[in-house]
Amino acid sequence: MLSSSPIDLGKVPKEDIEKEILRLGMIAELDAVSLYEQLAAKTKNKKIKAVLLDIAKEEKTHVGEFQTLLLELDKEQIEELKKGRKEVEEFKK
């Protein structure tokens, strides 16, 4: 993503704006996690690697914060997450 939004928030219906803001925040944080982990994998400097991985871990916490807020607003999302978990668990058998 790197600073460009995949959606135009100006075109989002008012009743959905908060959910879309949270989803956009999650996208940005996941993008940051990916970037920092990729950079950490490339550096030979142990200190830089440690800092990058620590920051990536913090971004994962931010994802959890956004997800928690989203699940308070979007009950359908809760049900779809449950369905997704169930589908994956069926592959374990």
Q: Each residue of 7-55: pLDDT tens digit?
A: 888 888 899 899 999 999 999 999 999 999 999 999 999 999 999 999 9
Cα dist from 60 to 12, 14, 16, 38, 91, whole Å: 26, 28, 24, 15, 26
pTM assigned to the model: 0.85
Neighbours of 57 (CB within 10 A): 12
